[in-house]
Amino acid sequence: MNQRQPIRPQAADQAVDYGDDFGVTGATPSSPTPTGAGDQSGITIGEALEATAISVGDKPVDRGDAAAIRAAEARAAGGNVTQRSGLGAKAQAAVNFNDRVAYDYNKITISDVLSDASAKLPHDKAVTSEDADGVRGAELSNNTEAMPTPGGVADTMATAARVNRDDKP
């Protein structure tokens, strides 16, 4: 006995319309729009965080990274506000986990936290030099070394701010 639902035959180039199977009427769902689409002329904070995930993605998240991610998230939101379940909170949870793990290959990496960062930020805006300076300060104040991670959050934000500044007409 076959328990599968019968499939309605369709032409190969014909897509299933919303409501075909269940007789739903009404408007079709639209694609979601970013909730906080601010000034996005140039490289955004979310894009800079994604670039960080690419450049140093295999590096385990440390306290400096978590502080920089929290600062970047707050700057994207336009103030000193971070989400309870946002990127900064996930980065801090990764630090707490990594502190208890002995081997690097078991640790949570930057790419684990920052992959698809643009979609995870409720608000996003173009990176400015003030944003980059704030993120750099947060990373340095929570880092055991006296310099930011090369290719890390602060470094990528500074590069994005420089590109945005140079691209202005």
State the pLDDT confidence band at 111, using cuts at 50, 70 and 90: very high
**Euclidean distance between CA atoms 94 and 85, whole angstroms:** 13
What's the domain count of the chain? 1
The overall pTM is greater than 0.85: no
Q: How confident is the model at residue 32, as a pLDDT?
A: 36
Q: Mind listing the pLDDT tens digit for each residue in 117-157?
A: 999 998 899 999 999 999 999 999 998 888 899 999 999 99
Whether 58 is covered by a domain: the verdict is yes
Is residue 103 in a domain?
yes
- What pLDDT sits at residue 19? 44
- Determine contact, residues 75/45, Cβ cutoff 8 Å: yes
Residue 36's DSSP bridge partners are 123
Would residue 14 count as lying in a domain? Answer: no
Residue % of the chain over a pLDDT of 70: 75
Q: What pLDDT does residue 35 have?
A: 41
- Residues 10-19 have pLDDT tens digits of 555 544 444 4
> Would 23 be classed as within a structural domain?
no
Number of H helices, E strands in the chain: 7, 2
The pair phi, psi for residue 88, each rounded to 5°, is: -65, -40
Domain that holds residue 95: 40-167
**How many whole angstroms separate alpha carbon 70 and alpha carbon 168?**
27
Answer yes or no: is 26 within a domain: no
Residue 139: CB atoms within 10 Å? 28
Residue 2 lies in a domain: no
Contact (Cβ atoms closer than 8 angstroms) between residue 113 and residue 94: yes
Q: Residue 116: which residues within 8 A CB-CB, separation 6 or more?
A: 50
Residue 21 within a domain: no
